[in-house]
Amino acid sequence: MHFNIKGILIRNGLSLNVNLQPQIYISLYDALKKAILTRSLEPGSKLPPSRILAKDLAISRSTVLKAIDLLLVERYIDSVKGSGYYVLSPKDKKLRLNFTLADKKGNYPQLSDKGKAFSQHMDWSGESADKGVAFRPGLPPLDIFPVQLWKRLISDYWRCVTPSELSYSNTIGLQCLRENLAKYLRVYRDIDCDPDQIIVTSGSLHSLYLVSNVLLETHDEVVVENPTYPMAHALFKSLGANICATDVDDQGLCIKNISCQSPKFVYTTPSSQYPTGIKMSMERRKDLLKWASEKETFIVEDDYNHEFSNWERPIGSLFGMDQQERVIYLGTFNKLIHPSMRLGYMIVPHYLFDAVVALYQQSSRFVSIQNQKAMSTFIEKDHLNKHLRNVIDVSNERKEVFVNHFKKVLGRYFYLDTSNPGLHLIAHITKEGLSDVQLEKILLDHNILVHALSKYYVHRNGENGLVMGFCCVNPKQIRESINKMERIISNYLG
């Protein structure tokens, strides 16, 4: 493909100021990167040879090679031996156009203060669909999902749908789904609620976004467990909240250690503390409800993992224990069914309902109606309960394989905590010279997806370890991926 590379690069911000000679390779890198992202340079197109590019731009070849090296490292281009450099497609990479050097220091042109905060706090890089799923936390065993049954339920919807049902539907979700959810929660979570208190969302984070925007003013205090779900922490920070990080012990959130005086709400995961897996004791739950009453504050209960933590030793929800309508309950099917389902729900006190729905109508208004209808039938016909039992059985089998092989192969690098009843385990790093953040990046480069434990701590000064999902791949893949990890770590340590 023939194109005017110099013209393309200048249009994309290339500066060849000889007075800034040491920074020319950065300018060239930025211009090439922007040209790739804006498709001024199409995927698959071949870059001119470095000698020709240097000649066209009247710069040294070493300057060109420095820029090319950066693009290779970040996978914007690929090198084909004996042929040259080719542009890679950015379609599966979560990328954004570079800001100027001044903007990288935090000055985002034309953004509101809230827009700047979201840009600074929400981390949306690194995990793309083309990466292998071993050992991604939060993924259920996707290979056992009853695909044929679900296809039949979706087909049933389209076979019976009426023209009126193709119009705008109820913002808060289908009535049949909310009624079946209310019955399900009454049996399995000891929650007695009106179906009209239930709002169907795309998942727990969506629910949390709605609740937080309704409740929070800038500088309001929010209590979070430490460690906690990083996306929740980032959301609260982005909305201008002051974070009150409170440690957890073997009974859950340490209420006596909460330091803030007038928090707007407490965000907690009592059924299975995320990421430690600790179940909040009954005594601690009572203490938290009493404390919330005294402080006249809300509790946001994220019950994301209750299906697994309560299977053998069931314990009711905080919402079910609440007598003063202070608890807002969040639930999701994305961790039990599959993430692409994008189906969750929340239960809010009656006096918050209208405000949450009003915000919902002005944002991402609807969840897929066909998925809502299929899920309603899935619950009503007891398919959900059957699938849950199957997921638990398969997860337990894969957990055993994971634990045994991990200890055998990687035991000299990690201490594996096997107490978590959910879909992931924590591997604490015991080998000197290993950083969880660096290891997360290196493994991702080799299509193994884990999370650095230190990122779950509010001030990023927590424990050094990996959060690893174990049931999202089959036993053979578990062993192969652990063996691959051992080779990667061994090579990294030299």
Three-state SS for 93-114 is CCCCCCCCCCHHHCCCCCCCHH
Q: Is residue 119 part of a domain?
A: no
My answer on whether 202 and 291 are in the same domain is yes
DSSP class per residue in 198-229:
EEEES-HHHHHHHHHHHH--TT-EEEEEES--
Domains identified in the chain, total number: 3
Residues 6+ apart with CB under 8 A from 384: 184, 375, 378
pLDDT at site 201: 95
Report the pLDDT value the prediction gives residue 335, as an integer from 0 to 100. Answer: 84
Together in a domain, 16 and 87: yes
Asked whether residue 342 falls in the same domain as residue 391, the answer is: no
Which regions of the chain are under pLDDT 70? 1-3, 12-13, 15-23, 90-109, 122-132, 309-314, 365, 460
Asked whether residue 116 is assigned to any structural domain, the reply reads: no
**Residue 376, in any domain of the structure:** no
The verdict on 260 and 386 lying in the same domain is no
Same domain, 261 and 188: yes
How much is the pTM? 0.77
Q: By residue range, what is the domain housing residue 185?
A: 170-365
Residue 238 counted as domain residue:
yes
Residue 148, in any domain of the structure: yes
CATH number of residue 444's parent domain: 3.90.1150.10
CATH code for the domain of 206: 3.40.640.10
Q: Do 422 and 322 reside in the same domain of the chain?
A: no
- Taking the C-alpha atoms of residue 229 and residue 250, their distance in angstroms, rounded to an integer, is 18
Looking at 302, 330, 365, which one is the last position of a domain? 365
- State residue 132's pLDDT score: 57
Specify the pLDDT at position 104.
46
Nearest CA to 252 out of 284, 230, 229, 274 is that of 284
Q: What is the pLDDT of residues 408-420, one digit of tens each?
A: 999 999 999 999 8
Overall size of the chain counted in residues: 494
If asked whether residues 336 and 435 sit together in one domain, one would say no
User: Is residue 435 within 8 Å of 413, Cβ to Cβ?
Assistant: no
Q: What is the pLDDT of residue 17?
A: 56
